[in-house]
Amino acid sequence: MKTLTQKEIEEFKQLRWFIMHHNKNCSICGKEFDFNENSYFGHLDDGSYAYTCEKCSQQMTDAEVYTNSHRHSYSIPVSNAKLWRYMDLAKFLSLLEYNSLFFTRIDHFQDPFEGALGIKKNEELWSTKEQEWKKKWIEIRSKSNNVCLCDSELQLLAEQEFKQYRKNIKEWRTKNYVNCWHQSDCESEAMWKLYTRDCNQGIAIQTTFERLYQALPPVPQPSFGMVNYINFNEYNNGGSEKNIHPFEAVWYKRESFAHEKEFRIIIEDIEESDFYERNKKIRVDLNLLIENIYISPKADKWFAELVKDTIKNRYKLRLNVKHSELNEQPFF
C-alpha cells in the first residue's frame, strides 16, 4: 500500500469532509437530490470542490457524473457539535499511553440488539418475505438470459441465495468496529453515572465533530453518524414497510437507549482473514482531538491535580483540564 504524504493526507481529508456534507444537496443551489438522480462532482474555476445538480454542473471545469442510488440511514451532526466520551481513569490513561481510540467489534457489544435486524418472533415472517423478493429477481434474471425455471427450481435457488445472504450479514458483523460518543451541548449527569465505574474518579473528554474527524487517520476510512432509536417490533416484521438494511443495522438501537444520544464512528477491517480481533486501537492526534478534559463532579481536588500533572509531566500534552461544571454550588 502506497504511503501518503502529509499533503496528500490533508487533501484526502478535505475531499472526504466535503463529500460527507454535500452528498445529498447541490453545493451551489442547495437542491436536494432525488433517488437515482444524476449528480456531478468536480472543481470550480477557483479550484474549490463542487457537488452539484445537472444545471449547476455547467459551472464546473471537470464535472464527473454520479448516481444517487443509496441513502444512508444515519445523519451527521453540524461541524461544531460537541461530542463527549465518559470514562474511568484506566481508560483515560490507555487513551494517553497509546494515542489511540478504542473500537469494539459489533458482535462483542453487551447490548444483544447491536446490529440486529428485528425481534426474534418476527424472523420467520421476515425470512419468508426476503425469499419472495429473491425468487422474483431470480426469475427476472433467468428470463433475461432466456432460461425458463419451474417454481420449485426458483424456490430452491431463492433459498440458497438467502442462506448465503444471511451468512454474509453475520460475517459483516465480525469485520466492523465501533467507537461511541455522546452528542450534547452540555455535560450529562446520567452519562457520568453510566460510564464511569467510580464517579469519584471519572473523566470526560470533550471534542467536536470536526476535531474528531481531523484527528483520525484517513485509513481505515471511517463512517460517521448519529444512531436512530426505534421500536424494533415495527421493523422487518414481514408486513410493515419499515425495513432495516442488514448492512446499516448498526445505526439502529432500541428506543430505551435514546438518552445516550449516540454518535458513532465505524471502521471495517478490509484484510482477508479467518480471525478478526475483538477490539482495535486506532491512532489519533490527541492535540487535535481533545478540546477540553472534564474531571468528575464527585472527584476530590487531589484527583484533579493528579490528572493535570500526569497530562503535563508524563505525556507532555498541553490540554485544557476543567473540573465538571456540575460541581458548581448554588445559592438561595
Over residues 258-271, the mean pLDDT reads: 90
pLDDT digits (tens, 9 = 90+) for 298-329: 999 999 999 999 999 999 999 999 999 898 88
**d(C-alpha 96, C-alpha 207), whole Å:** 15
pLDDT exceeds cutoff 90 at 16: no
pLDDT exceeds cutoff 80 at 68: no
Q: Report pLDDT for 270.
A: 66
For residue 42 the three cell numbers come to: 468536480
pLDDT exceeds cutoff 70 at 70: no
pLDDT exceeds cutoff 90 at 145: no
Over residues 21-45, the mean pLDDT reads: 88
Residue found under cell 441513502: 71
pLDDT exceeds cutoff 90 at 23: no
Q: Report pLDDT for 278.
A: 86
Q: Does residue 292 sit in helix, strand or coil?
A: strand
**d(C-alpha 112, C-alpha 199), whole Å:** 26
Going by pLDDT thresholds of 50, 70 and 90, the confidence category of residue 275 is: low
102 within 8 A of 284, measured Cβ to Cβ: no
Chain-centroid distance of CA 332 in Å reads: 44
Going by pLDDT thresholds of 50, 70 and 90, the confidence category of residue 188 is: very high
**d(C-alpha 313, C-alpha 96), whole Å:** 12
pLDDT exceeds cutoff 90 at 286: yes
Q: Say if residue 125 is exposed, middle or buried (CB neighbours under 10 Å; 0-12, 13-18, 19+).
A: middle
Chain-centroid distance of CA 203 in Å reads: 23
The closest alpha carbon to 243, from 162, 129, 166, 159, belongs to 129
pLDDT exceeds cutoff 90 at 265: yes
pTM: 0.89
Residue-averaged pLDDT of the chain: 90
pLDDT digits (tens, 9 = 90+) for 71-99: 678 899 999 999 999 999 999 999 999 99
| Torsion from C-alpha of 127, 129, 133, 135, nearest 10 degrees | 70
Q: Within the chain, what is the greatest distance between any pair of CA atoms?
A: 84
Going by pLDDT thresholds of 50, 70 and 90, the confidence category of residue 259 is: very high
Is the pLDDT higher at 64 or at 84? 84
**d(C-alpha 287, C-alpha 32), whole Å:** 36
Q: Report pLDDT for 109.
A: 92
Q: Report pLDDT for 86.
A: 97
Over residues 41-45, the mean pLDDT reads: 92
Helix or strand run (H / E) with residue 98: helix 89-98
Q: Report pLDDT for 7.
A: 86
pLDDT exceeds cutoff 80 at 271: no
Going by pLDDT thresholds of 50, 70 and 90, the confidence category of residue 273 is: low
Q: Report pLDDT for 254.
A: 97
- DSSP letters for 239-272: S-S----GGGGGGEEEGGGGGG-EEEEEEE--S-
Going by pLDDT thresholds of 50, 70 and 90, the confidence category of residue 26 is: very high
Strand runs labelled E in the chain: 38-43, 49-52, 64-67, 82-88, 100-105, 176-183, 202-208, 223-226, 228-230, 252-254, 262-268, 279-283, 292-295, 321-323
The closest alpha carbon to 260, from 100, 128, 91, 109, belongs to 109
Q: Say if residue 2 is exposed, middle or buried (CB neighbours under 10 Å; 0-12, 13-18, 19+).
A: exposed
